[in-house]
Chains A and B, each alone.
Chain A
Amino acid sequence: MFRLILKRLLLLIPVLIGVTFLVFAILSLAPGDPVLVVLGDNATEEAAEAMRSELGLDKPFLERYVNYIWDLLHGDFGKSYKTKLSVSDQILSRFPNTILLALSSMLIALLFGIPLGILSAKKQYTLLDNVASVGGLISVSMPNFWLGLLLVILFALKLRWLPSQGMSEGTGPMLKSLILPAVTLGTGIMATIMRMTRSSVLETMRQDYVSTARAKGISESQVTTGHMLKNALIPIITSAGLQFGHLLGGSMLTETVFSWPGVGRYMLDAIKTKDTPAVLGSVILMSVSFSVVNLLVDILYAFVDPRIKSQYKKHGKKSALRAKKQEA
């Protein structure tokens, strides 16, 4: 098990190098001179030159990349062109907000998605199942920035129950301002998890060990949680984990709708002012956390399913990964 984790960690390194390189390349090769963005169009040629060498922009691309990574490894994301503040401080002060939002959305999604999925599987083809299926399909198809706006109209503007935007001070008001964005992000994921739970439980319901458990006289609720859900959990965990990764890297639209002070909104603001170091830092932070979450899901996967763990032991990593991929 330890070797597996170590191996996966080592495999993450080239991916991370690749990600940082890709993002750096995309944003560095962008047309437009960042120096002119900072100084304005009326800048003299000498001032621009001085600025360029100060920012290190006169060096070749690869050298700039290596320097950037070197600073990054020391926790330095560079300075914002616009505000001259350290990007690391800016991002790291906002990252907890993004994580908080992601965790709360996930909590909502799991809390409602899994029970609903089990219910619709156990009552397959009944009214409840049909309503849940249609509701799920609609929730998956809803752009979440639109859902956010609808919730604002209903709960903030018409009913005046909840604040429409921002993150309020103090625990109580803060939690209140968290509800709408978390529900917005959680709804689509809830639907995904519900659908996954439903099909996964339907599959395990037909297994022989479930009949055996029933025949032994175990209560229905115990069969559901102990035999069905436990075995149905693996695809659910994978899907939830992947969704969580997406939440860390893709909640910028919802953050914008609710003016939630997270990394996503910081990045979008930075894009508008062509503040490359800020954009670069945000994209890299989000991509790296996305990769790390995916890795954790992979490891968790092996922990939850003894079958996968034994496969690792028997044939090594490759066959286990292959088996997992086929399953997915």
Chain B
Amino acid sequence: MKKAQNMPYQSRTLGAEAWYRFKKNKLALGALAIFIFLALMAITTIIIDLVTNNSFYDKYVISQDLLQRLQPPSKEHVLGMDEFGRDILLRIIWGTRYSLFMGAFAVLGASVLGGIIGAVAGYYNMMDTILMRIMDVFLAIPTTLLAVAIVAATGPSLVNVVLAIAISQTPTFARVIRAQVLTIKDQEFIEAARSAGASDARIIFRYIVPNALSPMIVQVTMGMASAILSIAGLSFIGMGIQAPMPEWGAMLSNARSYIRDAWHITVMPGAAIMITILILNIIGDGLRDALDPRMKN
């Protein structure tokens, strides 16, 4: 506080203010750095596949070498070899794309759909009851169960898994946004905008949505963590990404049969899932503190 008095007044936008607070949280900053690294790594593998026309992928990530199967971690293969003699580290690196990008797409879908439903429900009293009762029905089914049911009906495929997770997360987003809209819409600046002749759409998108963004951003981070968990879980029970694709949950599913022979093929892919979710949780906590300092105890 003392410092602030001595300094000339500096105005910051909400984003700059949040970033200023987020920066001070070293743990969260570190987690963000790791997350960016993971994302860049995933993009790099995609570029490699495109450039080499999948030949690297076919040769090292997919093709089997039974002589080397189940070899424990060594100097040449840091995380060891899996049940078909494939390098686990390479497979984990190549599998990053599924967790990160499918998770991102699922959350994007859920936030757009949930955002629209929540905004409409919060803004128009008439729609509120109908939409939120429908959302209540979705919320009455546990998230994983709903995702499993949808995939069971539509069949396991990349797109279906993303859709299933997006749909199962939509009600949560709708609730968050609706609560925000309800508190914002009665404030004076909204009344001012309305009296100046702004249309409903303009009021919602220009004035309400930007002010409702903070909890949304936190929810996106947390939603991404739970989406990654769902993708891995669905693949683990054979309803997500199928072998031989190097998805982490699918790797775990295969490792289960060799649990007596080699511990490392079970430990490594799970550790990858845990670390990714852990850094997302840390980022989410940091963002919540940064975006809404009142929440911090």
Contacts and interface: CB of A to CB of B under 8 A. Distances in A.
B225 A19 contact: no
A26 B153 contact: yes
B239 A290 contact: no
B274 A143 contact: yes
Contacts, number: 128
Given A22-B137, A30-B154, A253-B237, A157 B149 contact: no
Given A18-B137, A19-B141, A143-B233, A27 B152 contact: yes
A31 to B, nearest CB: 7
Contacts of B270: 142-143, 146, 149-150
B141 A141 contact: no
Interface residues of A, number: 49
A141 B225 contact: yes
Interface string A143-158: 1011001101100010
Contacts of A157: 259-260
Contacts of A27: 149, 152-153
A27 B155 CA distance: 11
Q: Which of B140, B143, B148, B260 has the most CB of A within 10 A?
A: B140
B237 A256 contact: yes
A137 B281 contact: yes
Nearest to A325: B179
A302 interface: no
A149 B154 CA distance: 29
A109 interface: no
B256 interface: yes
A286 interface: yes
A252 B237 contact: yes
B144 interface: yes
Nearest to A158: B263
A163 interface: no
Given A23-B149, A141-B277, A150 B267 contact: yes
A15 interface: yes
A90 interface: no
A19 B143 CA distance: 13
Given A19-B140, A203-B297, A252-B144, A153 B179 contact: no
Contacts of B273: 143, 146
Q: Give the secondary structure class of B's interface.
A: helix
A146 B274 contact: yes
Interface in B108-152: 133-134, 136-138, 140-145, 148-150, 152
Interface in A257-280: 257, 267-268, 271-272, 279
B137 A141 contact: no
Given A22-B137, A256-B237, A146 B148 contact: no
A249 B145 contact: yes
Contacts of A143: 229, 232-233, 236, 249, 270, 273-274, 277
B141 A22 contact: yes
Q: Which of B141, B229, B263 has the most CB of A within 10 A?
A: B141
Nearest to A124: B297
Contact of A279 (B141, B149, B282): B149
Given A14-B133, A26-B153, A291-B140, A250 B145 contact: yes
Given A141-B274, A145-B236, 14 more contacts: A18-B140, A19-B140, A26-B153, A137-B278, A138-B274, A141-B278, A143-B229, A143-B273, A157-B259, A249-B145, A250-B144, A252-B237, A257-B256, A271-B239
Interface of A: 14-16, 18-19, 21-23, 26-27, 29-31, 137-138, 140-143, 145-146, 149-150, 152-153, 157, 199, 202-203, 245-246, 249-250, 252-253, 256-257, 267-268, 271-272, 279, 283, 286-287, 290-291, 294, 325
20 contacts: A26-B149, A138-B274, A141-B225, A141-B274, A142-B270, A142-B277, A145-B233, A146-B270, A149-B252, A153-B259, A203-B297, A249-B141, A250-B142, A250-B143, A256-B237, A268-B237, A272-B238, A279-B149, A279-B152, A294-B140
